[in-house]
Amino acid sequence: MDEEILTEEALILNDIRSHLTTFEKERGNLIPILQMIQEKHAYIPREAIKLVAEYLEIPVCEVYGVATFYNQFRFHPPGKYPIKVCLGTACHVRSGDIILENFERKLEIKEGETTPDREFSIERVACVGCCALAPVAIVGETVHGHMAPSKVEGLLLRIRIEKEKQEREKLTISGNN
């Protein structure tokens, strides 16, 4: 893991520690604590589960069991470019599952995970309300309709090229100052 990510995770854990004290040490506060962590940080780090267990003086397995029971909780940080693949009825019958598999294969991660560089994350969603465009994938805020397995690699390549272009522009601007 690179230094920037480790520093970010340490800051997140310190923030969680400081906010835990606003909750009474009662088992009934477990879900509100997990919701607070999810809301503030968009995911629940593995180490946060241990912190919560220690704070509430309950077993780690109990905190983990509750957190994994509810699908509102994420355990991987969202990527800079979150990808949501619709698997609602219209998208499912038009091979949305194959689109999801292609994203997983190209990014070498599974649904619910984030790439090690935290650039991309993949999530399956039930419906995005764009049934006429099925199958649909959403990257960031942009809807990509009529997806085909052959479009996945081009879409990812376009994002990476745009990112490199922006980085070059930043270097050019900082070099002129």
Cα separation, 24 vs 123, whole angstroms? 34
Q: Is 177 helix (H, G, I), strand (E, B) or coil?
A: coil
**Is 86 part of any known ligand binding site?**
yes
Average pLDDT over residues 154-163: 92
Tell whether the model's pLDDT for residue 174 goes beyond 80. Answer: no
pLDDT tens per residue, range 112-127: 899 998 899 999 999 9
Q: In what order do the strands lie in the sheet with 81-86?
A: 120-125, 81-86, 137-139, 142-144
pTM reported for the whole predicted model: 0.75
**Is 130 part of any known ligand binding site?**
no
Q: Which DSSP symbol is given to 43?
A: S
